[in-house]
Structure 1
Amino acid sequence: MLKKDFLWGGAVTAHQSEGAYSEGGKVPAVCDLTVTGEFSDFKDGIDAYHRYEEDFNMFQEMGFNAYRFSFDWSRLMDSETTYNEAGFVFYDHFIDALIKRGIKPIATLYHFEMPVFLHQKYNGFYSRKVVDIFVELCKKIVDRYHEKVFQWIIFNEQNGILQKGPKMFFGAVCPENMNPQTFDNQLMHNTLIAHSLINEYIHQKGGKVMGMATVVQSYPETCHPLDTLESMKAQSEAYVFLDVFARGHYNSYYYANMQNEGTMPEILDGDLEILKKGITDSLSISYYMSTISHYGEESLTNINDVVIKKNPYLEMSEFGWTIDPIGLRITLRQLYDRYEMPIYIVENGFGYDDQIIDGKIEDDYRIDYMKKHIEQMKLAVKEGVDCRGYLAWGPVDILSSRAQMKKRYGMIYVNRDNHDLKDMKRIKKKSFDWFKQVIESNGEIL
């Protein structure tokens, strides 16, 4: 039985949904620099900037009591010293529209939307100057909204920093002749310093923070002990962040590993004391898939898109992601055993190239995916895990992280494709009424 105040809803980012690229004083963001031209770009999104009330009405009809969104940094600052009031006014109305409909806003402060000028001048979060700028921006945001927003996520999927691949989502490029692992560790450290300072400020204002990581459950490929060690190493890239969120310090394994490999970041005097301020009120995760680990091989990369190794016991989506509901249950149990903190699932869902046939979208495959994951979440709760929320990723179709419309997650279809914006009409999929029933029954009817 889930708690009566269990959070049901959805989650999006600003850059994948808002559009309005040249409106309201917005400037280019680092996510724009990740666009390859293979699909689309983030300039139009699904026009949520103008149509969010229409979307919120549909979320209200589904029964949402929570909605996670991001503040677009590039809409809020037009230089490193000036703020864009028009951007704040937009979020004033946006947040009020959620509250009016009885939907609790859950705000993400960084979801890959740093202004490009901070990448160009400082190399993003590789620079402590950008940490300072971001902390001051977040204080301004919290000051303005702390009486309306009570739950915050500071960084989205912060542990993505340690996945192999480019780091432009954090506004940074590895300097020439620098060890890439040292670079990654510096980004990790700098963003954890930012997290800890902002976490402290949110608490001073009476808010609650969900420390967030993306968790890809990793199984040993064989029963060889070295594969088990490789699996533990893969998991450690999430734990190093979660340990700061739960304990206020680096775990001994990862810290020793940095020392042993000669990849220690620059840690300033007082930094380790600052990390002690990073303990959050709860943990939150995105979970989509699992992978397998083989000694000496990468089990997960994020070059262009997440690449994982195939598990012969599990099916994969058309986009190459393992479908593993039991992996979610394992993940929840592992995290709760390790931390004994409340956990929220703030991203989960199934990406598919939905088709309209005879005016309908019969997305039974999405219902099946979500149903099985919610079932496993409920079993984890029955086994003692304090899980307090489930937010579906992209409840209305949005652009994917690679700026494509073909990979749709929503229970609401948006009528546009990669290159033709069409009319962006919203159309309910079969999963709309299914998820509505799930929420009405607090997860009892699946």
Structure 2
Amino acid sequence: MLRKDFLWGGAVTAHQSEGAYQEGGKVPAVCDLTVTGDFSDFKDGIDSYHRYKEDFDLFQEMGFNAYRFSIDWSRLMSDENTYNEAGFQFYDEFIDALKERGMEPIPTLYHFEMPVYLQEKYNGFANRKVVDIFVELCKKIVDRYNDKVNYWIIFNEQNGILQKGPKMFFGGVCPEGMNPQTFDNQIMHNTLIAHSLVNDYIHQKGGKVMGMATVVQSYPETCHPLDTLESMKAQSEAYVFLDVFARGHYNSYYYANMKNEGTMPEILDGDLDILKLGKTDYLSISYYMSTISHYGEQSLTNVNDVVIKKNPYLEMSDFGWSIDPVGLRITLRQLYDRYEMPIYVVENGFGCDDEINENGEIIDDYRIDYMRKHIEEMKKAVEEGVDCRGYLVWGPVDILSSRANMNKRYGMIYVNRKNNDLKDMKRMKKKSFDWYKHVIETNGEEL
């Protein structure tokens, strides 16, 4: 049985939902630089900047008691020395609207929305100057909202830094001639310093923090010992961050590996003491899929810069992601066994291109099936002793994907827009709306 105060709700980012890219003093953000032109862009989102109360009313109808969102850095600083009061006022009203509807606001302080001018001038989080700017901004945010916010997430999916591919989501471009792994490790270190300083400030103000990582469960392809070793290596990219959140220091394997490979970042005097301030109150994860690890040649699929090997025992989504509910249970068990800290699932969901039938309905049984099985496995983990305290659906209202693709929909609420046609952005309930509403009403007892 789940806790009576279990958090049910959803999660979004500002840049995938708000739109209004030229309103309220907003400036371009690094996420805008990741748009390839294959789909759409983030300029209009789903217009939640103007329509968030409409969405919140629907979330309230579903019974949400929590909502995770990002506070867009590019709305709050017009240049590196100037704060934008209009941006703060928007989030004043946004957070108040959540509270009025009985939802716990869970702000993410960094979700890939760094102003472009900081990327151009300093190369983003590769530069400690940007760490300083970010920390000071976070202090202002915490001072303003600490009496309204009980849970904070500092960085979204912070271990994404170590995934293959460009680092523009963190404002960084690897300089020519520099080892890319050393560069990634430098951004990792700098963001962990930022995390630790902000975490300490939130604690000084009496707040609570969820340290967050994305976990792609990795199975050995065979019982060959070297496959198991590869699986352990794959998991270490999440653990290096989670270990700081839980223990306040780098894990011995990853630190030794940086030394052995010659990819050690610049670590300033006192930095390792700062990491001791990084211990959070809770852990939180995003979980969508699993993969396979093999020490030799392998057939790989690259999905959003996450390298995935197909598992013959699992179905794949239309977007190439394995569907593995048991993997969530395994993940929760592993993390709780390792850390013994309360865990929140702050992202999970099923992305696909929904269709409206001839009766004007969206019958998304496939989404219900995905969510039901994942919640079932989460509940089994709780029965097995895991202290899991919340489940947030990614994109409870349709939003643009991380690649600005409106055809990859996660929501229980349909938004009437396409990649290249904004239409009227009307909101429509899908079949999963009433299903999730009942799940929440019964606190997960009836799926």
TM-score, normalised relative to structure 2: 0.99
Is the contact between residue 163 and residue 300 of structure 1 (CA under 8 Å) also seen in structure 2?
A: no
Q: CA deviation at 1:277?
A: 0.1
The residue type equivalent to 1:153 in the other structure is: I
Alpha-carbon deviation of 1:396? 0.1
> 1:37 corresponds to which residue?
37
**Cα distance in 2, alignment partners of residues 293 and 162 from structure 1:** 17
Instruction: Say whether the 8 Å CA contact 2:197–2:274 is kept in structure 1.
Output: yes
- The AA in structure 2 aligned to 1:243 is D
8 Å contact from structure 1 (residues 209, 281) kept in 2: yes
Partner AA of 2:222 in structure 1:
T
2:272 corresponds in structure 1 to: 272
1:278 & 1:299 partners in 2: Cα distance?
Answer: 38
CA distance in 2, matches of 1:218, 1:163: 14
Q: Which residue of 2 aligns with 1:370?
A: 371
CA distance in 2, matches of 1:296, 1:29: 39
Q: Which residue is 2:421 aligned to? A: 420
Structure 2 equivalent of residue 260 of structure 1: 260
Counterpart residue type for residue 326 of structure 1: V
Structure 1 unpaired stretches of 5+:
none
**Cα 1:346–1:297 shift into 2, 3 Å:** farther
Structure 1 residue 160 and structure 2 residue 184: aligned? no
Give 1:324's aligned residue: 324
- Please give the alpha-carbon distance, in whole angstroms, between the structure 1 residues aligned to 2:395 and 2:111: 14
Q: Which residue is 1:188 aligned to?
A: 188
Aligned counterpart, 2:170: 170
Alignment of 1:28-427 (within 5 A): 28-296=28-296, 304-358=304-358, 359-427=360-428
Tell me, in whole angstroms, the C-alpha distance in 1 between the residues paired with 2:386 and 2:334.
Answer: 9
Q: 1:230-289: CA deviations, max 9, x gaps?
A: 000000000000000000000000000000001000000000000000000000000000
Distance in 2, Cα, partners of 1:195 & 1:110: 10
Q: 1:285 to 1:301 in 2, by over 3 A?
A: farther
Matching residue of 1:25: 25
Q: CA deviation at 1:223?
A: 1.0
The number of residues matched between the two structures is 446
How far apart are residue 303 of structure 1 and its match?
7.0
User: Cα offset for 1:307?
Assistant: 4.0
Q: 1:7 maps to what in 2?
A: 7
CA contact (8 A) 2:163 2:305 kept: no
CA distance in 2, matches of 1:293, 1:384: 28
State the alpha-carbon separation in 1 of the partners of residues 207 and 256 from structure 2. Answer: 34
Contact kept in structure 2, 1:17 and 1:48, CA below 8 Å: yes
Whether the 8 Å CA contact 2:11–2:395 is kept in 1: the answer is: yes
Say which SS state the counterpart of residue 98 (structure 1) adopts. Answer: helix
Amino acid at match of 1:103: M
Q: Which runs of 5+ in 2 are unaligned?
A: none
CA RMSD of aligned residues (A): 1.1
Contact in 2 for aligned 1:163/1:301 (Cα 8 Å): no
- Are 1:245 and 1:279, in contact at CA under 8 Å, matched by a contact in 2? yes
Q: What is the match of residue 431 of structure 2?
A: 430
SS at 1:345 equivalent: strand
What's the secondary structure of 2:78's corresponding residue?
coil
What's the offset of the Cα at 1:298?
A: 8.0
Deviation at 1:306, TM superposition (A): 3.5
Q: C-alpha separation between the residues in 2 aligned to 1:278 and 1:300?
A: 35
CA offsets 1:96-153 (integer angstroms, 9 cap, x no match): 0000000000010000000000000000000000000000000000000000011000
Give the whole-Å Cα distance in 1 for the aligned partners of 2:54 and 2:219: 42
Residues 124 and 172, structure 1, Cα contact 8 Å, conserved in 2: yes
Q: Which residue of 2 aligns with 1:440?
A: 441
SS at match of 1:78: strand
Distance in structure 2 (CA, Å) of the matches to 1:81 and 1:410: 38
Q: Provide the rounded CA distance (Å) in 2 between the counterparts of 1:7 and 1:297.
A: 43
1:384-435, CA deviations, whole angstroms, 9 ceiling, x for partnerless residues?
0000000000000000000010000000000000000000000000000000
C-alpha contact (below 8 Å) 1:283/1:342 kept by paired residues? yes
Q: Does structure 2 retain, via aligned residues, the 8 Å contact 1:231–1:292? A: yes
Q: Equivalent residue of 1:141, what SS? A: helix
Q: CA deviation at 1:304?
A: 4.5
Separation of aligned partners in 1, 2:95 and 2:429: 24
Instruction: Please tell me whether the aligned partners of residues 165 and 301 of structure 1 are also in contact (alpha carbons under 8 angstroms).
Output: no
- 1:300 and 1:306 in contact (8 A); partners too: no
Q: TM-score, normalised by structure 1?
A: 0.99
Output the CA distance in 2 between the equivalents of 1:302 and 1:105: 34
Q: Does the Cα contact within 8 Å between 2:165 and 2:305 map onto a contact in 1?
A: no
Identity of aligned residues (%): 86
Q: Counterpart amino acid of 2:366?
A: Y
Check 1:353–1:304 CA distance in 2 against 1; reply closer, same or farther (3 A cut).
same
Deviation of 1:222 after TM superposition, in Å, equals 1.1
Instruction: Specify the code of the residue in structure 2 equivalent to 1:277.
Output: L
Q: Which range is displaced more, 238-247 or 299-308? A: 299-308
- 1:356-398, CA deviations, whole angstroms, 9 ceiling, x for partnerless residues? 0020000000000000000000000000000000000000000
Checking the alignment, whether the CA contact within 8 Å between 2:282 and 2:342 is kept in structure 1 is yes
**Equivalents in 1 of 2:103, 2:139: separation in Å?**
24
TM-aligned CA deviation for residue 305 of structure 1? 4.7
Distance 1:301 1:438 in 2: 34
Give a deviation string over 1:18-58, Cα, whole Å, max 9, x none: 00000000000000000000000000000000000000000
The code of the aligned residue for 1:445 comes to E
CA 1:243/1:300 → structure 2, altered by over 3 Å: closer, same or farther? farther
Task: State how far apart, in whole Å, the 1-side matches of 2:39 and 2:140 are.
Answer: 35
- 1:339-367 Cα distance to aligned partner (Å, 9 max, x none): 00000000000001000002000000000
Cα 1:304–1:286 change in 2 (3 A) is closer
